[in-house]
Amino acid sequence: MKPVSLKEIADQLDCLTQECVCYLNKKTGEIAEILTGYMAIAEDSEEDDDFSKYLGWEQDAIRESVTLLENWDEYVELPD
């Protein structure tokens, strides 16, 4: 596991809303902040979905959620 700054994690968690969940990538040390609505879309998606009906930033958020789900064992959910 890559070393991570506890201050960075605390700062990230301090800014969370009820609609967000943070995940720590154990390999990179990066924190992914995922909106639960986009995670639900990613969970229900098929491999060939293009998400073109969503705005560009929403597409990015959904793809980040898909990546997280595909690599679930590389992440740790951080407490709220």
pLDDT number for residue 55: 94
Asked whether residue 32 is assigned to any structural domain, the reply reads yes
Q: Which helix (H) or strand (E) holds 20?
A: strand 20-25
Between 2 and 19, the higher pLDDT residue: 19
pLDDT tens readout for residues 6-30: 777 666 666 666 788 889 899 998 8
Domains identified in the chain, total number: 1
The number of residues making up the chain comes to 80
Domain residues for the domain of 10 are 6-77
What digits encode the pLDDT tens for the residues 23-76?
989 999 888 888 999 999 999 998 888 899 999 999 999 999 999 999 999 999
Contact 42, 62 (CB under 8 A): yes
The yes-or-no verdict on residue 1 having pLDDT over 80 is: no
Query: Is the CB of residue 34 less than 8 Å from the CB of residue 21?
Result: yes
Q: Does residue 41 sit within a domain?
A: yes
Q: Is residue 1 included in any domain, yes or no?
A: no
